[in-house]
Amino acid sequence: MAHASDGRSMEFKLPDLGEGLTEAEIVRWLVEVGDVVAVDQPVVEVETAKAMVEVPCPYGGVVTARFGEEGTELPVGAPLVTVAVGEGEAAAGGPARERGAGDGAAPTPAAEPKPEGSGNVLVGYGTSEAPARRRRVRPDRPTATGASGRANGRVRAAEPVGGVVGTAEPMDGPVPVISPLVRRLARQHDLDLRELTGSGPDGLILRADVEYALRAAAAQGGRTADREAGTGGAPAGTAAPVASPSDGTRVPLKGVRGAVADKLSRSRREIPDATCWVDADATELMRARTAMNASGGPKISLVALLARICTAALARFPELNSTVDTEAREIVRLDGVHFGFAAQTDRGLVVPVVRDAHARDAESLTAEFARLTEAARAGRLTPGELTGGTFTLNNYGVFGVDGSTPIINHPEAAMLGVGRIVPKPWVHEGELAVRQVVQLSLTFDHRVCDGGTAGGFLRYVADCVEQPAVLLRTL
């Protein structure tokens, strides 16, 4: 145990994450019990529903305890670490020394020192001027185990983690379990964890896996008892009963998937949405983009052109760039357009936001879309880059589908869906021709406007797609 007689023990709790986030999952501990940490040094890497970030500790000293194993979800306000803060060499970054058996009880400090802390901490933001670093965990990282971690695939000696002591189990190979609760549940029911296949990441055995195995064993035991008693059960030679739907694999709704589920459910509960759609001839838009990219300047993306069209349409139909204040029973029309776009990543669907899209040209929009897309795929998006949108574009055409009825990204008022652009027969200038056709769909909050406004918005977008020169009148 590190010497901390010069000061007192400070408990650092999981800080307020902001943006409506109330919990985070411990991905990786960056310090061990007994380590000396400096003020604002990251001590743990956590994953929220918004982003993966490192949490800096506002105290300098010696880590005396860690709370929670890797893979554990903690609510805001739950203890993370305790730090022995003092004016001695430990707090100053010197080597920690072990307490001897003859040290006796902790001495009473002569004066109550004021801990060196840097104030409140927000996830993703440092407590000093420099923001905390963000790191993406490699997909091939070993299964997390907290303080009772694994060495060479085996459980090593346990040590306290927030008051919970894990126990080592004799085994011939690695058992991918990190939760002491899962181990205890298996021991209580004499269940061999080595016989289970985990449904978690990298085969991690979850509590749901243990409970499923116990239910299956109980059901099998019941059928065996029925056969021995000669009552109930299936007669010999008949097919086994079909498994109940409750016997299927359970996937926890947490992280990004859980946040998406909550937001979509809230959107369906609160927003009376309606959808209208139209087919548009995108041949001229595609030609215009080709001509722009042939000029030798920076390449312009199709999504950027569509975003530029949408911001022009929102200037004409501001009702769709708004939100509803349900408590005040007011529609709040927003001044700027913060443009969200749906992006599919390995962690799930996220919606990065381009700030002040109405003030950007196609080149600036292209660059910002590219930056945010790369950050989304690498898991480096900050909570600020994932919130605050006022209108969203959903380009589901990249999945090879023509149409959809998008669910509005609460609390926004509308979302434009764009299908794939494909050659189709089309009547052009009175003659049948093969043209590049796209289906556009608009889902809107019927509280902020009626169908006439929504139809006018969608028709203007379609006109700009068919005749890009129409957009010049609004520039």
Active-site annotation, residues? 446, 450
CB-based contact 281:452 (threshold 8 Å):
no
CB-based contact 61:43 (threshold 8 Å):
no
The pair of three-digit structure tokens given for residue 312, joined into one six-digit string: 């022009």
Return the closest-CA partner of residue 435 out of 284, 301, 306, 292. Answer: 284
Query: In degrees, to the nearest 5, what angle opens at C-alpha 464 toward C-alphas 309 and 408?
Result: 50
Q: Return the H-helix or E-strand segment holding 266.
A: helix 255-270
Label residue 170 left, alpha or beta by phi (over 0 means left) and psi (-120 to 50 means alpha).
beta
Q: Return the H-helix or E-strand segment holding 345.
A: strand 343-345
The pair of three-digit structure tokens given for residue 434, joined into one six-digit string: 């093969």
Rounded to 10 degrees, the C-alpha dihedral 53/54/55/57 comes to -160
Per DSSP, the three-state class of 36 is strand
Q: Return the H-helix or E-strand segment holding 262.
A: helix 255-270
Nearest-angstrom CA–CA distance, 353 and 284: 28
